[in-house]
Structure 1
Amino acid sequence: MIRSKLTVIIHAEEEFDWGGGFFRSNNNITHGAELTTFVDQILATGVRVVLAMDYAFVSSEQGTKVIEHFKQQQYKNVEFASHLHPWVNPPFEEPTIDGDEIEDFYSFPGNLSADTEEAKLTSLTTLIEQKTGRRPTTYLAGRYGTGANTYQILKKLGYKLDVSISAFADFSSYHGPDFSNYTNSETSIDGIRCIPHTSGYISYCNGVANYFNRDSQNLAKFNNSFIGKVILKLLGVKRVRLSPEGYSYKEMHKLLKSLNDIGVENFIFSFHSPSVKVGLTPYIPEDKHLSKLRNDTLKLLNEFSSIRAD
């Protein structure tokens, strides 16, 4: 049995229409009380929580209340980190449509000029330090959007850990980064420690899932042919994130089991903060979806030690 660790990372951010574009004016936060309650429940399972907060969240009244609540707990098992959403984070230097909406391309921090990316992250870092009393050392790029300049900027600003990589994911079709060659193994870029958001493959056959999760090139061998794709379908191969947003307890459990089998040491369980309230993200349209997210999350976290030992 490996001594693996699981951290819950919450993308603490504003509420906006996920399919409606990126607007500077979308900075509303109404889910602070619900988030505080749920994080307290998560902490009761014994896991560590990272609140990766963007500018809109940190500067809001409700976001401030969330921060104050966890500051009173002497930072026990809670870390405040940075989460850069360029469209709501000053200084506002990127091009806009009608002065409010930014193009999708600039919603990825790594697509900004080096000066603009650094200026925005400096602004966010300073605000978090002012509000929390501690300078953040963990970074999560908005939309996982790291770029050519990101890690040098992080190093300059004193960051130690990046959690922006999303294992096996490719966002290049809509201007984002391509992480398809990354597995769930820890790596280092320009001296910054990088732990990927946990994602991988499950299958009807555990050995098949383990094979695909070991090496990013293994799946490509099957995807390059019609017969290979048919085999993947017959084997029930599916990519799953370690997240209750769109994935079931059963799927997450199978993913954890496979990644544990191949020796992954660090797991990141993640979700977006507006998902703690009905109607704020596509994942939670009704009360029943919120109940499922809560129940699946707490069940998985409570059972993590036994899953790890299987």
Structure 2
Amino acid sequence: MRFATPAAARVAWPSSFGRRFLVSVDVEEEFDWRKPFSRAARGVTAVAALPAMHARLADAGIGPLYLVDHPVAANPRAIATVAALAGAEIGAQLHPWVNPPDREPAGEGASFVGNLPREVEAAKLDTLIATIESATGAAPRAYRAGRYGLGPASLALLAERGIRVDTSMRARHDYRAAGGADFSHVGNAAFRTREGLLELPLSTVDVGRWRGAGEWLPQAARRVPKGRGLLARAGLHSRVPLTPEGVCAAESVAAVRAAAQDGERLLVLSFHSPSLVPGNTPYVRDDAELARFHAWWDAVLPALARHGFEPASLAEVLVAADEGGMVGPAGLEPAT
């Protein structure tokens, strides 16, 4: 399924909003990313490392959006840890293989919740939302599909359940090869969907001398063996997700500069909570990689400040989006 940003439905941020950035965190269980999906992988010990990272972000004026999945929400100690973080907003994240009810065989295709039958996706959403509300006393306002797994029914199901913000679209990424959705035609700009949701795509910025070439260039590079790597090493074109996971600080600093030049008003950064403890994700396998993870913030946060991007909470984003309205009528370009 392909999604695309409708230019007419982009949010027209008020001038008072300035340039902002939002930090989102996938707060989830630890599992081996190389192995088949397992319903038994529900350990959440890495959540204990979250308060120290939260304090570091809070010192920089950042109130993160924590998107918790079912193993976290259903674990009293883990969800209490997240709920105790001052200034945090708790949203929902759905990993279908560990989110009841278990009506489907766990597997690659089923790991994208939008691929499941509508009634199964709905039931999993209901379980997740109810578990979060029971544990925290508040229903989540924001949602992310694990593995960015939106499907044809997902946005309508979210709107029916009172979710106001979706942040499942990863700008300029295509997951069709694994069975997921295609977001290669989704840009970084926030927009309203036909269902009335505020969509906040995870930011991915083009850098390099040919960064303005358009979508045809990365698509053509995919068809050439090692084509994207060749373009990146030549300094011509590369796509940089704004995350400390698998992305070097220098690339991200360049991406922040390019985003400012492009006139971006809101950037959405992200990482996974298990990366705070070595050995849980492919991005942080040892202490040296954990040090690089933290060094990324030491470089990127000052770069954001230099280019006029100030931190924003989800509440501030919602107020500004409602105040600013849209460029045109709400909608989402037809997907196939």
Q: In the alignment, which residue of structure 1 is the partner of 2:196?
A: 191
Residue 33 (1) aligns with residue 48 (2): yes
* Matched positions, count: 291
Note the 1:131-170 alignment, pairs <5 A: 131-170=135-174
Instruction: Give 1:250's aligned amino acid.
Output: A
Tell me if the contact between 1:58 and 1:127 (Cα under 8 Å) persists in the aligned partners: yes
Q: In the alignment, which residue of structure 2 is the partner of 1:125?
A: 129
Render the CA deviation track for 1:265-288: whole Å, top value 9, x for unaligned. Answer: 111111100000011111111101
Q: Distance in 2 between matches of 1:63 and 1:196?
A: 27
Moved more, 188-197 or 144-153: 188-197
Tell me if the contact between 1:184 and 1:196 (Cα under 8 Å) persists in the aligned partners: yes
1:5 Cα deviation after fit: 1.1
Q: In the alignment, which residue of structure 2 is the partner of 1:14?
A: 29
Q: For residue 295 of structure 1, give the secondary structure of its aligned residue in structure 2.
A: helix
Q: In the alignment, which residue of structure 1 is the partner of 2:181?
A: 177
1:22 Cα deviation after fit: 0.8
Q: Distance in 2 between matches of 1:223 and 1:123?
A: 39
Residue 92 (1) aligns with residue 102 (2): yes
Render the CA deviation track for 1:157-194: whole Å, top value 9, x for unaligned. Answer: 00111111011100000100000111111222222111
Render the CA deviation track for 1:48-75: whole Å, top value 9, x for unaligned. Answer: 20000000111124412312422xx3xx
Residue identity over aligned pairs, in percent, reads 28
Residue 216 (1) aligns with residue 220 (2): no
Q: Distance in 1 between matches of 2:92 and 2:190?
A: 20
For structure 1, the residue ranges without an aligned partner over 5 or more in a row are 97-101
Q: For residue 23 of structure 1, give the secondary structure of its aligned residue in structure 2.
A: coil
For structure 2, the residue ranges without an aligned partner over 5 or more in a row are 1-14, 310-336
The change in CA–CA distance for 1:232 and 1:294 in structure 2 (over 3 A counts) is closer
Instruction: Give 1:27's aligned amino acid.
Output: R
The change in CA–CA distance for 1:233 and 1:249 in structure 2 (over 3 A counts) is closer
Q: In the alignment, which residue of structure 2 is the partner of 1:99?
A: none
Tell me if the contact between 2:188 and 2:201 (Cα under 8 Å) persists in the aligned partners: yes
Tell me if the contact between 1:10 and 1:273 (Cα under 8 Å) persists in the aligned partners: yes
Residue 44 (1) aligns with residue 59 (2): yes
**TM-score (normalised: structure 2):** 0.81
Render the CA deviation track for 1:101-156: whole Å, top value 9, x for unaligned. Answer: x1110000100111111110111111111112211110100000000000100110
1:232 Cα deviation after fit: 6.8
The change in CA–CA distance for 1:232 and 1:52 in structure 2 (over 3 A counts) is closer
Q: Distance in 1 between matches of 2:232 and 2:252?
A: 19
Render the CA deviation track for 1:54-103: whole Å, top value 9, x for unaligned. Answer: 00111124412312422xx3xx2x11000000001011111x2xxxxx11
**TM-score (normalised: structure 1):** 0.87
Please identify runs of 4+ aligned residues in structure 1 that moved more than 3 A.
215-226, 228-236
Q: Distance in 2 between matches of 1:305 and 1:265?
A: 13
Q: Distance in 2 between matches of 1:180 and 1:168?
A: 4
Q: For residue 48 of structure 1, give the secondary structure of its aligned residue in structure 2.
A: coil
Q: In the alignment, which residue of structure 1 is the partner of 2:286?
A: 286
1:217 Cα deviation after fit: 4.6
How large is the Cα RMSD of the aligned pairs? 2.2
